[in-house]
Amino acid sequence: MEKNDIINFKALEKELQAALAADEKYKRENAAKLRAVEQRVPSYEEFRGIVLASHLKPLERKDKMGGKRTALWNCHSTPGRTFQDVATEIFQETTLFQPKTSAEFYRDWRRQLRSGLQRYQALLQLGGPKLGHLFQTDVGFGLLGELLVALADHVRPSDQVAVLGILHSLANTGRFTLNMSLLSQAERESCQCLFQKLQAASTPKPMQEGLSQEKLGVEELTGGLQEEERLLEELLKLYQVH
């Protein structure tokens, strides 16, 4: 065996241990999320606490209470962070969502993204252009409704431009009208609720100069339309919201 062909077993062992630790963390936190859902926790704060504390173990008799504390009881919880900061951090730490095809999207959407918040963050991460490319042929039976529900449940005013871009891209996918006709009553209500939130957050304002194309995004997607209000009106018709 050549000198350069010598296997570095220590490096391989280190990589294996890191992979096993990452897999264990995913399973542990996913189990905590499912447990929180089953317990029907009343708020996201409690849900977050259960997930962030999933690595902790119950105290045993030999464990002594009291004494000097040198660290936070939960190293994953830091004061001063907002709800969205922690939610985004949980998503980024536990989920790698970078599908290259629609088939990969279907698989990871259902396997990795179990909560509505995770799904919402994933949609924002991908953005309208990427989603439009993935589903240029067809969104797929039943998926459009799930996308609309995730957006409706978690949309924020600060995400309005990104959500409009996503909705515009989805509206230009193949068989969009057919997929809209197949929405369930609950999904239609979510769609209605989503546009009500977007309308409430929308205020007429001139475009600000200096905004980057990456941040704005909507201009190229709408073929030159530069006002959110005009795009919103167009989408209201496409999504059959009255």
pLDDT of 44-75, one tens digit each?
667 666 777 766 655 555 555 555 544 444 44
On whether both 24 and 124 belong to a single domain, the answer is no
Residue 100 in any domain: the answer is: yes
User: What does the block give as tokens for 70?
Assistant: 């040198």
- Burial group, residue 124, by CB count within 10 angstroms (0-12, 13-18, 19+): buried
Residue 73 in any domain: the answer is: no
Q: What is the mean pLDDT of residues 219-229?
A: 55
On whether both 149 and 237 belong to a single domain, the answer is yes
pLDDT of 78-126, one tens digit each?
455 554 555 555 545 445 678 999 999 998 898 888 789 999 999 999 9
On whether both 108 and 51 belong to a single domain, the answer is no
Residue 72 in any domain: the answer is: no
**42 pLDDT tier (thresholds 50, 70, 90):** confident
On whether both 116 and 227 belong to a single domain, the answer is yes
Q: Which of 215, 198, 197, 195 is nearest to 207 (CA)?
A: 215
**pLDDT at residue 10 in the model:** 78
**pLDDT at residue 211 in the model:** 46
- Picking from 34-38, 89-93, 150-154, 232-236, which range would have the lowest pLDDT averaged per residue? 89-93
